[in-house]
Structure 1
Amino acid sequence: MPAHAIDTALLKPTEFLDYESDVVRDFVRQALPEGGAQMTPTERAVALYYAVRDGIHYEVYGADLSRRGLQASSTITRGQGFCVHKSIVYAAAVRSVGIPSRIYYGDVRNHLASPRLEELMGGKVFTFHSLTTVLLEGKWVRATPVFNRLLCQLYKIKPLEFDGRTDSMYHPYDDEGRRHMEFLREHGEFDDVPYDMVVGGIRSAHPKLFASQHSTARGSLVADATMRKG
């Protein structure tokens, strides 16, 4: 979609991309030196990418998938979430500084999940994996500020970098040459979170993952990584 045809909805706050909240505003302010006034849109997008990637811990366990729990402000307050949560935070953060964004969902095969997580997910296929697409320098690029650097070190996965000009998606292999993640099916890109489709789809595909209607099972990916090493 050419830049001049961008729907203004792609810049607006929403129920989930609640960037007008004080929590999101403070997060963005801390991520951008002096508010980013002297930065280009690409530089702002890159700075916010790393703020989300490394400033919010990636955690599948104990996640809140209620409508309130998926709001960007809630994830920032909790300091953790998985791909669905972190992509929302990034989409909200970039919109707050005038960068159009959308949210992508697709199914992936993850070859390096822990045995416990595989059991809860019902195998290696994870549905509704999420990332963010942003409009920079006249074109849409994909950004995945999901696995933080510490978790990547524990799982021996190369952290995904982002330069604002080329797509940043999961590397297919880890540091030891083992296959890590394959993209299997695209559900599409959305101006806002299609809540019922995403959460309903995750619940339907991975019922064992849920400890309650809106919360995933308790646990720790860091602890899982430690057990894998053992």
Structure 2
Amino acid sequence: MVDPPRPIPGPIAVPLDAEPEPTDRDLAPARFVDSDAPAVLAFAERACGGAAAAERATPVARAVAVFDAVRDGVRYDPTRITTDPDAYRASRVAAASSHWCVPKAVLLTAAARAAGIPARLGFSDVRNHPGVRNNPGVRNNPGVRDHPGATPLREQPGEQELFFWHGWVALWLDGRWVRATPAFDAEQCARAGVDPVPFDGRADALVHTREGTGEHLPSHERDRGTFHDLPLDDVVATFRERYGETVFTG
């Protein structure tokens, strides 16, 4: 077991290979990953089929249950990108009917911790992201026309630009870190012509497969590392620089 990290003023990137085993912070509540909030505890308990079932279930089974609850229980909606910090708290996301990839990753991290599973937020810059809704601030930017507000990706095969800070989660299961993204629900994936990302708790679940072709997307171009809590200031600063103010809805 590695020594716990020194106190820091805010979230910083921690490569998984720099902390190969979880620390206390991977189970602890944080500002955005408020895993001790009643709404998050209730979300995790419901996902696992109740308190008694959760106690009987293995960590892998609990991880799969909370992943499925976040992926399909909170629809993907890129029009929810906002600068309001409260909107990114897991306890707020748990009550939402829809949200985009970053807050959904925050909720999965918090729900996993509430279920006793060490978890961290992870981020990548990706190409060919299967966005399926309209967000003019993204769609009209030549650097990100295909994410997250683009029309279904299968209708625009030439668009291969970057989307920054795509959210995923690293979960400590069976003695190793397993990565998964809960961003796109099954309904949105059907509209975009891609298969939902399956998660069995044993293999990474980061990419979709295009229906009928077996093509994998998105491609992860830059790993920004993992975080014990959401680095919201960094995310907002990058979006503001790359996409402009029109990407934000509030």
Given the two structures, how large is their TM-score scaled by the length of structure 2?
Answer: 0.77
- Following superposition, the deviation at residue 64 of structure 1 comes to 3.1
Q: How does 1:132-211 map to 2 (within 5 A)?
A: 132-171=169-208, 173-177=209-213, 180-207=217-244, 209-211=246-248
The answer to whether the Cα contact below 8 Å between 1:121 and 1:209 also exists between their aligned partners in 2 is: no
Aligned length: 212
Residue 168 of structure 2 is matched in structure 1 by: 131
Residue 92 of structure 1 is matched in structure 2 by: 110
Residue 119 of structure 2 is matched in structure 1 by: 101
Separation of aligned partners in 1, 2:185 and 2:176: 26
The answer to whether the Cα contact below 8 Å between 1:120 and 1:209 also exists between their aligned partners in 2 is: no
Residues 158-194 of structure 1, C-alpha deviation per residue, up to 9 Å, x if partnerless? 00110111100113x4114366421111111111111
Moved more, 143-152 or 195-204: 195-204
Residues 78-128 of structure 1, C-alpha deviation per residue, up to 9 Å, x if partnerless? 222111010000000000121111111111112654685432474331101
Residues 193-228 of structure 1, C-alpha deviation per residue, up to 9 Å, x if partnerless? 11211221122211154246xx3xxxxxxxxxxxxx
Separation of aligned partners in 1, 2:65 and 2:224: 28
What is the alpha-carbon root mean square deviation over aligned residues?
A: 2.3
The answer to whether the Cα contact below 8 Å between 2:29 and 2:35 also exists between their aligned partners in 1 is: yes
The answer to whether the Cα contact below 8 Å between 2:45 and 2:115 also exists between their aligned partners in 1 is: no
Residues 40-94 of structure 1, C-alpha deviation per residue, up to 9 Å, x if partnerless? 1110000000000000011101333421111011112222211101000000000
- Following superposition, the deviation at residue 5 of structure 1 comes to 4.7
Residue 28 of structure 1 is matched in structure 2 by: 44
Residue 69 of structure 1 is matched in structure 2 by: 87
Q: Which amino acid aligns with 1:90?
A: L
The structure where helix makes up a greater share of residues is 1
Given the two structures, how large is their TM-score scaled by the length of structure 1?
Answer: 0.84
Residue 118 of structure 1 is matched in structure 2 by: 139
The answer to whether the Cα contact below 8 Å between 2:81 and 2:248 also exists between their aligned partners in 1 is: no
Separation of aligned partners in 1, 2:162 and 2:189: 20
Separation of aligned partners in 2, 1:5 and 1:90: 19
Structure 1 gaps of 5+ residues are 216-230
Q: Percent identity?
A: 31
Separation of aligned partners in 2, 1:133 and 1:25: 19
Q: 1:111 to 1:98 in 2, by over 3 A?
A: closer
